[in-house]
Structure 1
Amino acid sequence: MDYSDRFLLFTIFTPILILVFLAICCIAFCKMFYWARKECIECLQAQAQVRDQQSVYVIPISLSDDDLHRPPRYSTVQFYEPPPAYNELHMKTEIPLESPPAYSESVSASPSHS
Structure 2
Amino acid sequence: MKTYQFLTLVLSLTFSASIFAADKPLMSADMHTAKGVPCSACHGDNPMKNDLPTETQCVVCHNKAALVEKTKNVKPMNPHNAPHNNDCAACHRQHEPGVNYCNQCHYLDFKVK
Provide the TM-score with structure 2 as the length reference.
0.26
Whichever of the two has the greater Rg, that structure is: 1
Provide the TM-score with structure 1 as the length reference.
0.26
Which has the larger share of strand?
A: 1
- Higher RCO, 1 vs 2 (CA within 8 Å, ≥6 residues apart): 1
